[in-house]
């Protein structure tokens, strides 16, 4: 018989991301962040490739990256509103963890499975942060998909890309509940 963990199940069924702009100080210390990273790394990883790594962005790094986003957006001739939206998570953030997908050569493990594993790390970190009492939000935005930003801002190699940017801090405002999927309408049962 399985041994249920009702508290964990209730947490997963009721968890709610907190908007990054509402996350303030304090943020986790390096010592407090390590258990969250350890929890996130306990993710499905077919072949034990560890096709991901972490970059922790503290306030000064976020400020630097905000300027990089501004320069990249202008260089790409993006609309000023789009540039500002890309900058905002770096301007407003206090601490963020970039989950970097690291594609590794493998004859057995398809690249897509490595991508899925990196995505699982993102949700694992989001859940670990919230389970530890922090507010957290998984963001991306156009800078996270821009090769120039990845290389210039974060030093990513060609075989690496941003899977997600997880902002973590003290929750200053709780968002209202939003509609959730109708599980009955998206679930198909097959018995044979």
Per the annotation, where are the binding residues for FMN? 15-17, 42, 46, 138-140
Tokens of 31: 């010592």
Q: Nearest-CA neighbor of 136 among 158, 168, 162, 110?
A: 168
Cα 189 from chain centroid (whole Å)? 31
Of 64, 86, 91, whose CA–CA distance to 75 is shortest? 86
Q: Reduced to 3 states, what is the DSSP secondary structure of residue 52?
A: strand
Distance CA 133, CA 141 (A): 26
* CB 87, CB 139: distance < 8 Å: no
- Residue recorded with tokens 């970097």: 100
How many residues would you count in the chain?
Answer: 192
Give the residue ranges of the annotated binding site.
15-17, 42, 46, 138-140
């Amino acid at each position: 018989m399985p041994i249920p963990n009702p508290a964990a199940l209730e947490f997963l069924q009721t968890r709610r991301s907190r908007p990054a702009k509402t996350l303030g100080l304090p943020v986790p210390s390096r010592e407090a962040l390590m258990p969250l990273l350890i929890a996130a790394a306990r993710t499905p990883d077919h072949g034990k490739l560890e096709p991901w790594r972490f970059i922790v962005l503290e306030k000064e790094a976020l400020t630097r990256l905000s300027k990089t986003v501004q320069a990249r957006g202008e260089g790409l001739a993006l609309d000023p509103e789009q540039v500002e939206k890309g900058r905002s998570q770096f301007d407003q953030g206090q601490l963020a963890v970039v989950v970097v997908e690291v594609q590794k050569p493998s004859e057995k493990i398809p690249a897509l499975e490595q991508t899925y594993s990196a995505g699982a790390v993102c949700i694992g970190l989001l859940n670990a942060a919230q389970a530890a009492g922090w507010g957290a939000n998984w963001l991306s935005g156009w800078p996270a998909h821009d090769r120039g930003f990845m290389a210039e801002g974060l030093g990513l190699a060609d075989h690496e890309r941003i899977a997600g940017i997880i902002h973590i801090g003290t929750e200053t405002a709780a968002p209202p509940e939003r509609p959730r999927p109708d599980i009955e309408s998206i679930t198909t049962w097959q018995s044979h």
